[in-house]
Amino acid sequence: ADLRIGLQEDPDVLDPDQSRTFVGRIVYASLCDKLVDITPELVIVPQLASGWSWSDDGLELTMTLRDGVTFHDGTPFNAEAVIANVDRSQNMDESRRKSELSSITGAEAVDDLTVKFTLGAPDATLLAQLADRAGMMVSPTAASEAGVDFGLNPVCSGPFKFVERVQQDRIVLEKFAEYWNADSINFDKVLFLPIPDTTVRLANLRSGDLDMLERLAATDVTSVKEDGSLQMEQAVSLGYQGITVNVANTDRAANPLGENSAVRRALSLAIDRSVINQVVFEGAFAAGNQPFPPTSPWYNKDFPVPGRDIEAAKALLEEAGFPDGVTVEVQVPNNPVQMQLMQVVQAMAAEAGINIELLAKEFATLLSDQSAGAYTASQVGWSGRVDPDGNIHQFMTTDGGINDSHYSNAEVDGLLNSARVSNDMATRKKDYDAALAILQEDMPIIYLYHQAWIWALDEKVQGFVPYPDGMIRLEGVSLSE
């Protein structure tokens, strides 16, 4: 049987080391196996690595590899292959995985099916990285042959192998017969069809041209639920959406919002997050005020999602020296949902005396303005990572790669840096809690909500398990007759 999956976008290049899009990862879930995987509960479990162990100092990670695995081109999967993959991720010029694996300083094959990674410093996030693109194993033969062009014809070891791709039309994968877990795979072919329009995507599902789709619009949830021939699955995502404020990125930060954390807090208080969730997302998403959703073990329960408090917001403004209110400019990506969101925020803020001027921008402009500091505040989000570090470190530390607000606080830097080297959950939690407490005060990012991944499926589709990372894992999925 074939499975047709509707995607919201057309993926970029299909090379795990070079790609950057979320939809790309959905395709990889069927195409490329990783060393480790996660459970829906975010526990790291074996995939190509059958087991692993840390040295006591956290500087060595030894992995045993699954036996009898081959890549789609027949190249055997073994320690050499893993080493070649790490090397590619770290050293290929075009690789976007460099920082994810920066802690690995050496890799050696202990034997054919055992590989040992040496780390420069303890890295709590490493396993989680290996559960994503950085841990995807591509065929070393194909990779060395194709070089940077690997993405045109990717060869991995996943349950399906690459057949063809027509940009903006389809990506076709077919079952890889020698897959180590071939028994749990019930499809001969998977077609990924990018259909950007949510209404049309759903219409395709209804007309039977699709079997399932990802990112159902929240506004369609009710109608799908009511439709007896469709089923729906959802999972709150690992990411967040919020307003990133420019606090020190060039002189554009010199405005009430950028200079004064009280104004930011006032803005946050002026917003009714649950109303946003209801109005814009029909209650399907989760309100939020931290980089992790309230359901996450890393969520700081001391700072629950605040209710709306206009009086408090006004008081804060007054205290900050703006009794007559302030005007702030917020740039917003030009997609209808984000625009709707921000108009709601705008209306709410106005009642507290914060006059928001919205500036719609197409994404590339928004991104470059944001990184160049040519903005006051920007409505952006983050798709989320398994490890909490991925949601906070690069945004909040002084040298963080995506710290576009140029927020800098030595204490936060210290807490976040120490949280990434400890392998002990409790220690890390303590660090994050402390950091989050400071961030609630400084508020360089005003968190608003956590998206939920919503899948709509034809009733024939059986066995689909929603994951908070939004991926579609096809093991055990089948079509009933």
Residues from 335 through 354 that contact another protein (CB under 8 A):
336-337, 339-340, 342-344, 346-347
Give the interface size with another protein as a residue count (CB under 8 A): 76
Q: Least separation, in Å, of the C-beta of 290 and another protein?
A: 19
Q: Least separation, in Å, of the C-beta of 97 and another protein?
A: 7
Pairing status of strand 354-361 against strand 160-166: unpaired
Residue 233: strand pairing partners: 455
Question: Is 361 among the residues that bind another protein (CB under 8 A)?
Answer: yes
Listed ranges 8-16, 50-58, 290-298, 437-445: which one lies at the site for another protein (CB under 8 A): 8-16
Nearer to another protein, 96 or 189 (CB): 96
Closest by Cα among 457, 454, 456, 459 to 282 = 454
Nearer to another protein, 131 or 185 (CB): 131
Question: Is 131 among the residues that bind another protein (CB under 8 A)?
Answer: no
Distance CA 188, CA 52 (A): 32
Q: Least separation, in Å, of the C-beta of 280 and another protein?
A: 8
Question: Is 426 among the residues that bind another protein (CB under 8 A)?
Answer: no
Question: Is 153 among the residues that bind another protein (CB under 8 A)?
Answer: no
Residues 387-416 within binding reach of another protein (CB under 8 A)? 401-402
By CB under 8 A, name the one of 43, 183, 302, 364 that touches another protein.
364
Question: Is 358 among the residues that bind another protein (CB under 8 A)?
Answer: yes
Pairing status of strand 2-7 against strand 240-245: unpaired
Q: Give the 3-state secondary structure of 36-72.
A: EEECCCCCEEECCEEEEEECCCCCEEEEEECCCCECC
Pairing status of strand 114-119 against strand 60-65: antiparallel
By CB under 8 A, name the one of 74, 371, 459, 465 that touches another protein.
371
E strand spans, 90-159: 104-111, 114-119
Nearer to another protein, 97 or 314 (CB): 97
Nearer to another protein, 198 or 249 (CB): 198
Nearer to another protein, 197 or 411 (CB): 197
Q: Least separation, in Å, of the C-beta of 19 and another protein?
A: 8
Q: Least separation, in Å, of the C-beta of 103 and another protein?
A: 14
Residues 77-116 within binding reach of another protein (CB under 8 A)? 93-100
The region that residue 328 occupies, defined by phi over 0 for left and psi between -120 and 50 for alpha, beta otherwise, is beta
Question: Is 196 among the residues that bind another protein (CB under 8 A)?
Answer: yes
Residues 6+ apart with CB under 8 A from 193: 4, 5, 6, 7, 169, 170, 204, 210
Residue with tokens 């402009």: 365
Binding mask 163-182 for another protein (x = CB under 8 A): ---xxxxx------------
Residue 213: strand pairing partners: 6, 456
Listed ranges 18-26, 65-73, 285-293, 461-469: which one lies at the site for another protein (CB under 8 A): 18-26
Residues 23-82 within binding reach of another protein (CB under 8 A)? none
Distance CA 465, CA 439 (A): 34
Q: Least separation, in Å, of the C-beta of 68 and another protein?
A: 32
Q: Least separation, in Å, of the C-beta of 112 and another protein?
A: 32
Q: Least separation, in Å, of the C-beta of 392 and another protein?
A: 14
Residues 6+ apart with CB under 8 A from 159: 30, 33, 175, 176, 179, 181, 182, 185, 474, 475
Residues 319-338 within binding reach of another protein (CB under 8 A)? 334, 336-337
Q: How far is CA 81 from CA 44, 113, 126, in A?
A: 22, 10, 18
Question: Is 121 among the residues that bind another protein (CB under 8 A)?
Answer: no
Nearer to another protein, 109 or 148 (CB): 148
Q: Least separation, in Å, of the C-beta of 221 and another protein?
A: 11
Q: How far is CA 157 from CA 62, 161, 176, 242, in A?
A: 21, 8, 8, 37
Locate all alpha helices (DSSP H) within 301-362, ordered by sequence: 310-319, 336-351
* Token code pair at residue 139: 């065929």
By CB under 8 A, name the one of 50, 118, 141, 365 that touches another protein.
365
Nearer to another protein, 222 or 462 (CB): 222
Q: Least separation, in Å, of the C-beta of 44 and another protein?
A: 20
Question: Is 250 among the residues that bind another protein (CB under 8 A)?
Answer: no
Distance CA 336, CA 473 (A): 29
Distance CA 111, CA 134 (A): 22
Residues 210-229 within binding reach of another protein (CB under 8 A)? 217, 219-220, 223
> Dihedral sign, CA of 126, 131, 137, 143?
negative
Question: Is 295 among the residues that bind another protein (CB under 8 A)?
Answer: no
Angle at 26 between CA 22 and CA 31, to 5 degrees: 130
Tell me which amino acid residue 254 is: A
